[in-house]
Amino acid sequence: MLVGKRIVLGVTGGIAAYKAVELCRRLVDAGAHVIPVMTEGAERFVGRATLSALASEPVQTSLWDEVDPIPHTRLGRSADLIVVAPATARLLSAYANGLSTDLLTNILLATRAPVVVCPAMHTEMWEHPAVRANVAALASRGVHIVEPESGRLAGGDIGTGRLAATESIVAAITAALAAGAASTAGELSGTHVVVSAGGTREPIDAVRVIANRSSGKQGYALAAEAALRGARVTLVSTVELPSPAGSEVRAVETAAEMLDALAELAPKADVVIMAAAVADFRPTTVAPGKLKKATGMPEIVLERTPDILAGLGANKPPTQVLVGFAAETSDLVANATSKLQAKNLDLIVANDVSAPGVGFQHETNAVTLLCADGSTIGVGLTDKKAVAKVVMDTVVKILMTKPRQ
């Protein structure tokens, strides 16, 4: 359950902060990708270097010192889970009351991932009605609370308030992840989702091609998310990436091969997502063998490739959700809207590929989802997995409005 999961580990300023180091190590050992976020108070109890050395990424503490201008939304959206251990009375109060005073509280407000909070403080504080009310408010909103244990506290006092044992926190994290997965797990079971990924390559001669910069990362993230939700997934792909568990890969190279694969697969699919960057032009003829420099400058005549997505839109079964992508460098919404309408799509995912960190090859993307019913959803710069989650949430909603097969 923990393997490959992105876990933000929030550490606040209590004596139990030193135990967050052990928690971090245990999560990393179990295969999680741990991103530590410390408050100013936490830094008085444990060194940045210690957590940075054990975690998967260096410690982050501030809203202001990253190249990324909005780290809280990036971290909040891309996390599979957020755990705060230890959580002080101040953190509980800020979180319960929606206060965004530092990076950690901003992340907590900017996430839809499951949150596990592990309070630790002196008994009198833990039993104070204000703290009890904040804990109750958080629990009523679905935050997982790992109650503190009874035992020796700082200064030699004995009582309830000691941070729960690391094993209990890891167990709560695993259970919260399992519950989160279960809530979307079956959403697409019984459906067939077809996703195209990568850039087509159109041959000029035996060795040269016209290509584009698509890495296939966004398409593979979509396929993985659909498979996680229980769909049977077929990836029509021009790239060799590890295939997501539960998906079958159909390897293609040219626009013509992609067209053939989709012509076969799409008519019976419940969802078709064209994330691939299909060449718009290809050489009219492919030179046999390798064109030789000595024979002079070749004249390459281009012709249009078939618009695969437009063809799918024209023949779309009424039960199907058809999704296109739009890679734009200007007039994002206007251009994407005309593709949405012209190609008879249910949804188009528009990315401005001229913006830093967006689109081709990056690990990240920023998109605007434009639905056929006129609704729009903006997703700021975040990793492609998080984009895939939002796209798939929207696909599931549209699928529910379609007549059943």
Residues that bind ligand PMT (CB under 6 A): 214-219, 255, 274-278, 280, 305, 307-309, 324-327, 339, 351, 353, 359-361
Nearer to ligand PMT, 217 or 316 (CB): 217
Rounded least distance, CB 220 to ligand PMT, Å: 8
Rounded least distance, CB 199 to ligand PMT, Å: 7
Nearer to ligand PMT, 118 or 369 (CB): 369
Say which residues have a Cβ less than 8 Å from residue 49's Cβ, sequence separation at least 6. Answer: none
Tokens of 153: 């506290």
Nearer to ligand PMT, 154 or 314 (CB): 314
Please say if 212 is a catalytic residue. yes
Nearer to ligand PMT, 145 or 381 (CB): 381
Rounded least distance, CB 334 to ligand PMT, Å: 13
Nearer to ligand PMT, 305 or 394 (CB): 305
Nearer to ligand PMT, 76 or 216 (CB): 216
| CA 185 and chain centroid, separation | 16
Rounded least distance, CB 347 to ligand PMT, Å: 11
Element (H, E) at 285: none
**276 vs 229, 327, 329, 354, CA distance in Å?**
21, 10, 17, 17
**78 vs 228, 310, 394, CA distance in Å?**
16, 32, 17
141 CB burial (10 A radius; 0-12, 13-18, 19+): exposed
Rounded least distance, CB 306 to ligand PMT, Å: 6
d(Cα 362, Cα 274) in Å, to the nearest integer? 18
Phi and psi (nearest 5°) for 138? -65, -45
Catalytic pick among 97, 134, 212, 335: 212
Q: Which amino acid is at 249?
A: V
Rounded least distance, CB 304 to ligand PMT, Å: 8
In 186-331, which residue ranges form alpha helices assigned H by DSSP?
Answer: 217-228, 255-265, 308-314
Peptide bond into 86 cis (omega under 30): yes
* Residue indicated by tokens 């609704």: 375
237: left (phi over 0), alpha (psi -120 to 50) or beta: beta
Say which residues have a Cβ less than 8 Å from residue 257's Cβ, sequence separation at least 6. Answer: 200
Query: Would you please indicate which residues are annotated as catalytic (active-site) residues?
Result: 212
